[in-house]
Amino acid sequence: DDIHQARTQAKALQARWKTIGPAGNRFESKWWFAFKAANDNLFNKAKSVQAEQKAAQSQAASQWREQLQQVQQALENDQTAASDIQQMLDKCQLALKEVNDSKLQKTLTKELAAVQATLDAAVDQQLNEAFTSATEQMLDQVLTAKQPASTLQPEYPALPSLWFKGDGIDEPQDWLKTLLTLEVLAQLDSPEADGSLRSTVQLQLMQAKLNGESLPSAYPLIGELLASQAVLAELDTLPFRQRLFDVCVHFGLPGEA
């Protein structure tokens, strides 16, 4: 009944036979051929069982790949919610337990990981696009429509809350210095006209770092810029719109701030 146990016993008998020596010589012809016939039959059955197991594993892998293909199609069609696709992938992960062959399971695991990476990248792209769009709309309301940033937080739950809680800056020069501080921290370029003030900001930040002081956090600084209604009303904000956008996107995108 247990083909693996039978094979083990047959190998043990075969080894024992070689130790019998002359005492078994007169029975050797009769017993050996009987044993060999039984042994050959046993190993043929073992090969048959192995072939059946291999076929079953191959079928299980084929069915699993069909399941994974459905996930890939859902990704390509772009009509299925990311959460639903993730559930499909989770089911594929559970279904891997049906594949007992370790080598085959390792191959399928790599295929699953590749699809998971594709989904993760698609989700990240969607989040980034949504964040970028929300940032553009918010800046339009603050810079063009002159709406107070503090009133906009409910409209933009995807944006950092600290952006809407800053204390306004009173002087245009201080406002520009704060913007330059963010550009230096983000390693973004600044206009040549602001080169002198940028150098001053860089020197101050370097000195603070040498003194063991913490560098300023980006979110509160962005909040100060957006809350400065008096300065924004006085400045021509058009030249600063792209700079503000670049700073917000740099620090606000997932994994950046």
Cα 58-61-66 angle, rounded to 5 deg = 130
DSSP notation for 82-125 = HHHHHHHHHHHHHHGGG---HHHHHHHHHHHHHHHHHHHHHHHH
* 163, 243: one domain: yes
Residues 15 and 67 occupy one common structural domain: yes
Residues 135 and 65 in one domain: no
Helices 25-77, 102-139: crossing angle, 10 deg rounding = 10
Q: 254 pLDDT exceeds 80? A: no
Q: Are residues 248 and 131 both part of a single domain? A: yes
Query: What domain range includes position 43?
Result: 3-100
Tell whether 189 is covered by a domain. yes
Contact assessment for residue 184 and residue 202, using Cβ atoms and an 8 Å cutoff: yes
Indicate the pTM of the whole model: 0.70
Which one, of 173, 178, 181, 156, lies nearest residue 234 by Cα? 173
Q: What is the pLDDT of residue 6?
A: 61
Residue 119, domain member (yes or no): no
Instruction: Look at residue 150 and tell me whether its pLDDT is greater than 90.
Output: yes
Which of 43, 65, 100 is the endpoint of a domain? 100
Q: What is the average per-residue pLDDT within 163-171?
A: 95
133 and 80 in a common domain: no
Tokens encoding 29: 């012809």
User: Is it the case that residue 256 has pLDDT exceeding 50?
Assistant: no
Same domain, 152 and 65: no
Is residue 29 a part of any domain in this protein?
yes
Nearest CA among 131, 226, 128, 229 for reference residue 179: 226
Q: Which residues touch 162 (CB under 8 Å, ≥6 apart)?
A: 219, 220, 222, 223
Rounded to a whole number, what is the largest CA-CA distance in the chain?
Answer: 117
Arithmetic mean of pLDDT, 230-240: 89
Give the span between the Cα atoms of 66 and 75, in whole angstroms. Answer: 14
Same domain assignment for residues 51 and 92: yes
CB-CB contact of 43 with 8 (8 Å):
no
Distances in Å between the Cα of 211 and the Cα atoms of 123, 174, 187, 198, 205 are 41, 23, 21, 20, 10
**What's the Cα-to-Cα distance from 256 to each of 96, 122, 165, 179, rounded to whole Å?**
35, 18, 20, 18
Quick check: is 107 in a domain? no
Is the residue at 200 inside a domain? yes
- What dihedral angle (degrees, nearest 10) is formed by the CA atoms of 52, 57, 63, 69? -140
Token code pair at residue 225: 């810029």
Q: What is the pLDDT of residues 72-112, one digit of tens each?
A: 999 988 888 999 999 999 999 999 888 888 888 899 999 99
| Whether residues 137 and 233 fall in one domain | yes
Is 90 in the same domain as 193? Answer: no
Look at residues 100, 117, 140 and tell me which one is the last residue of a structural domain: 100
In a domain, 93, yes or no: yes
Model confidence at 126: pLDDT above 70: yes
167 and 80, same structural domain?
no
Residue 101: name the closest of 42, 44, 50 by CA.
Answer: 50
Report whether pLDDT(257) > 50. no
User: Mean pLDDT across the stretch 115-123?
Assistant: 94
Considering the domain boundaries, does residue 230 fall inside one? yes
Domain co-membership, 197 together with 162: yes
State whether 151 and 199 are in the same domain. yes
Number of domain units in the chain? 2
**Is 91 part of any domain?**
yes
